[in-house]
Amino acid sequence: MRPIALTMGEPAGIGAEIAAGAWAALRGTGPAFFLLDDATRPFAAPVRAIAAPEEAAAAFPEALPVLHRPLPRPPVPGRPDTGNAPAVIAAITEAVALCKAGRAAGVVTNPIQKATLTAAGFRHPGHTEYLGEIAGTGTPPVMMLACPGLRVVPVTVHEALARAIARLTPELIAGTARITARALREEFGIARPRLAVAGLNPHAGEAGTMGREEIDIVAPAVAMLRAEGIEARGPLPPDTMFTAHARPTYDAAICLYHDQALIPIKTLDMAGGVNVTLGLSIVRTSPDHGTALDIAGTGRADPSSLIAAIRLAAELARARGFA
């Protein structure tokens, strides 16, 4: 199997630490991966600088393979530096290019510090939007967060809540759900995906007494999906659709805004959750957490989510024939 490309993420964050932890956990079993980063940085693992992704598999059992990409400035744990922002972005761009060229099976992105990249001139709200530009398929990329027992997909992602609500339309909800259903079939092996679509207002609007978005926006989207043969139901009250009793009744929850999706999955499994970008020409996953600047350099970072992201990237690559 081709190796997975892991990007450096924010150099002042926990990326290097969890990369070392993931290598220690996977070195004996795989899947093999290589890190695009500065090989001269201190790592809590033996490192082997490689010149090409094709060298990663042979190096992996003995050392963390690093495709050496020097950082302009030495990173200081917990203190992001805009001077390193171009290298962070370049690592993402190169990882995608390696996948497109068939030299890597998929991309796993370490967390970035969005404010630092924005201050350096990066014009995208986050990974998802940038990946949609450089690895898109003509449809907007869709963010899925997955852990054992729950998959959630936010219809709107990195934008202010008031703007997110104003953008909601039946077409936007249905379009997100279509991409989700296709990915569940083609990449997750679910022959007939079941989608649960969340409402927006308390109690899913209480028949219009607490808002009409469910009647005017969400219900028409669900009707469109059903007419196309997609098994969808809703709008469902968001305060009950994530209970232990409700979760087994669907394969993915379609949520209307960022926190409606991310709060339940991070509450259930902060360590093991994985971010998957659907609708790309490549496989991309990432840990379901941020840069953790407050603990960077302390040795306390948990690599569990990164390990899960690497394993899932390999599974999805096999399903798509990229392995």
CATH of 149-271, one of 3.40.50.300, 3.40.1360.10, 3.40.718.10, 2.30.42.10: 3.40.718.10
> How buried is 52 (Cβ within 10 angstroms: 0-12 exposed, 13-18 middle, 19+ buried)?
exposed
3-state secondary structure at position 256: coil
**Which residues lie below 8 Å from residue 41, measured CB to CB, with a gap of 6+?**
11, 16, 71, 75
Q: Please, what's the largest Cα pairwise distance for the chain?
A: 63
**Residue 126 pLDDT:** 82
CA dihedral (214, 167, 221, 155) positive or negative: negative
pTM of the model as a whole = 0.92
Please state, in angstroms and as integers, the Cα–Cα distance from residue 274 to each residue in 1, 73, 82, following that order.
Answer: 21, 30, 27
Q: Walk along the chain (323 residues) and give the pLDDT tens digit of each residue.
A: 999 999 999 999 999 999 999 999 999 999 999 999 999 999 999 999 999 999 999 999 999 999 999 999 999 999 999 999 999 999 999 999 999 999 999 999 999 999 999 999 998 888 888 999 999 898 889 999 999 999 999 999 988 999 999 999 999 999 999 999 999 999 999 999 999 999 999 999 899 999 999 999 999 999 999 999 999 999 999 999 999 999 999 999 999 999 999 999 999 998 889 999 999 999 999 998 999 999 999 999 999 999 999 999 999 999 999 98
Binding site feature residues? 127-128, 158, 203, 258, 266, 275, 284
Run of H or E residues at 201: none
Contact 158, 126 (CB under 8 A): yes
CA dihedral (174, 175, 176, 182) positive or negative: positive
Structure tokens at 123: 């014009």
Query: Which among 320, 323, 226 is positioned nearest to 276, based on CA atoms?
Result: 320
**Residue 270 pLDDT:** 85
Sheet of 231-236: strands edge to edge? 47-50, 64-68, 33-37, 4-7, 106-108, 284-287, 274-278, 142-147, 150-154, 252-255, 194-198, 231-236
DSSP secondary structure letters along 142-154: EEEEEETTEEEEE
| Amino acid at site 200 | L
Binding site feature residues for a divalent metal cation? 158, 203, 258
Could you tell me whether strands 142-147 and 274-278 are parallel, antiparallel, or unpaired per DSSP bridges?
antiparallel
**Which residues lie below 8 Å from residue 152, measured CB to CB, with a gap of 6+?**
144, 145, 146, 252, 253, 255, 261, 262, 264, 265
CATH superfamily entry for domain 1-141+272-323? Isopropylmalate Dehydrogenase (3.40.718.10)
Query: Which among 125, 120, 35, 133 is positioned nearest to 72, based on CA atoms?
Result: 120
Binding site feature residues for substrate? 127-128, 266, 275, 284
**Nearest 5°: CA angle at 126, between 124 and 131?**
80
Domain with CATH 3.40.718.10 in the chain: 1-141+272-323, 149-271
**Residue 12 pLDDT:** 97
Structure tokens at 210: 């607490």
